[in-house]
Chain A
């Protein structure tokens, strides 16, 4: 099988999520990449070095500058004449583009796969991760999004991919990028952080959230996450949210502070290697999945913990 992987990038470097997709794609066959964007020579050169990569298709055009699905999907469809499967990371960009590709190819997408069982059979979570389904596709071509935390990342060095330019499919002319507001953070990105400290509603305010969570995260070199309740209350920005509707993470250590552990939150973090819960309610559901639990007042515990680390 020949697979085509959509490379997620920020215009300068390949994003981590793509590396896990390359690993999944390699389990299906020969791995080709697509780098689409404007002025992406550096990204293409970096992509060609990823271990196991054959060809790197490069589509350099203003129409692809902001990864608008309307313009990128026809480009992918054009390349799918020569490929048997299309894979993208299950990030917001991947989730935006891949189903449009699937519809244009008249195939059913397989979302957020956890494993490749064979060329046509995959596992994926349903019902907020409360069940794992094994699904077999009858479609001639496969369109798949890959859960980044479920596959090891391919090495960024050692590959000898060949770079090849692709003809542009132009601008469909139905959508225009206006602008974006990307939060600047010195901390590790949530989905690739080895340690995450996550705060819930029990923190009581945005000020307390930053006053208590941030120093602990800094001590541990951790990323900062939040429950939906904390985000809804305005304690933390939207993109901090871990859960079924936010980010799916699986760090080495996940520290849940003042988070009760609703099923929608657990869906986003229960594959973490070690879960540590700090909560004053000893019956909180979070303790059912926590490896290490500490029952007590987080306003006392957190400063003490940060001080002793």
Chain B
């Protein structure tokens, strides 16, 4: 059984984003970039499914040449081979989903596992779009994945609790935070990953038009909150709450 895992290179989640003064976007020059945290969870899950009948894990990234680093990280964690679709321009989720569909048509994986959202654009779209384009089942926000020979049963985190669905394979799963704890790549595995195969493609190879549908007119910082006050003790806090009408 083959699993495909798309991964994205994003601004490291610990870095506080700085909005560029000219309002064109967030400054990504000379800042630490990493694999999107949800994608690490997706890679980890694919690896854990190896003792449940998964025989090959293919990782894919779409983006600039530097996304090679992200793919090498996934290979060091335990993926078998990688595909990089090079695009120096930003590709929107719709374009990514179309490229992934083309790769799925070629590779014929039984399962595609994605992160539920990328922490840069916060879109939460790609997995659902891919499932729609392929006409297959989707289980988003997975907190538990049970793989059988022709189906996958997924517990999903939904508002108010959890929900369980069974999908026929092939299927698309997007993962939530609490699915697993991703492993760190060991030094020997990082060395081994360097010799694992990585194919390079372009959107044109797949005949997919990835021109953006949305134009970003400007990017600004959110409104700043005005400075607050510190109260000395509980009595002062209670008094404040009373003036606010929060308590009688």
Q: Within 8 Å CB of A177, what residues of B?
A: 163-165
A291-B247 contact, Cβ under 8 Å, with A92-B157, A135-B214: no
* Binary flags per residue of B51-65, CB closer than 8 Å to A gives 1, else 0: 000000000000000
Q: Within 8 Å CB of A175, what residues of B?
A: 137-139, 165-168, 171
Dominant secondary structure at the A interface: mixed
Q: Measured between alpha carbons, how far is A98 from B218 in the docked complex, in Å?
A: 25
Judge whether B160 and A239 touch: CB under 8 Å: yes
> A168 on the interface (CB 8 Å rule)?
no
Q: Which of A93, A109, A183, A220 lies in contact with B123, CB distance below 8 A?
A: A109
Chain A residues touching B, range: 35 or more
Q: Which of A109, A133, A178, A270 lies in contact with B219, CB distance below 8 A?
A: A133
Dominant secondary structure at the B interface: mixed
Judge whether A305 and B138 touch: CB under 8 Å: no
> A108 on the interface (CB 8 Å rule)?
yes
A130-B17 contact, Cβ under 8 Å, with A103-B128, A111-B123, A182-B161: yes
Q: Within 8 Å CB of B188, what residues of A?
A: none
B153: nearest chain-A partner, CB-CB: A178
A133-B138 contact, Cβ under 8 Å, with A293-B229, A294-B230: no
Judge whether B141 and A92 touch: CB under 8 Å: yes
Judge whether A178 and B234 touch: CB under 8 Å: no
Judge whether B177 and A228 touch: CB under 8 Å: yes
A112-B122 contact, Cβ under 8 Å, with A175-B137, A178-B166: yes
A100-B219 contact, Cβ under 8 Å, with A108-B93, A238-B178: no
Q: Which of A138, A264, A292 lies in contact with B240, CB distance below 8 A?
A: A292
Q: Within 8 Å CB of A183, what residues of B?
A: 160-161
The interface centre, meaning the residue of A130, A228, A274 with most chain B CB atoms within 10 A of its CB, is A130
Segment from B42-50, B78-86, B196-204, B220-228 that makes contact with A: B220-228
Interface size on B, residues (CB 8 A): 80
Q: Number of contacts between A and B (CB, 8 Å)?
A: 247
* Binary flags per residue of A102-139, CB closer than 8 Å to B gives 1, else 0: 11101111111000000001000111111111111111
Q: Within 8 Å CB of A214, what residues of B?
A: none
Q: Measured between alpha carbons, how far is A2 from B19 in the docked complex, in Å?
A: 35
Q: Which of A99, A121, A129, A135 lies in contact with B128, CB distance below 8 A?
A: A99
Q: Within 8 Å CB of A309, what residues of B?
A: 238, 241, 247
Judge whether A274 and B244 touch: CB under 8 Å: yes
> A73 on the interface (CB 8 Å rule)?
yes
The interface centre, meaning the residue of B119, B125, B139, B164 with most chain A CB atoms within 10 A of its CB, is B125
Q: 11 A-B residue contacts at CB 8 Å?
A: A92-B156, A99-B128, A100-B131, A103-B94, A109-B125, A137-B213, A174-B135, A177-B164, A181-B163, A245-B177, A247-B159
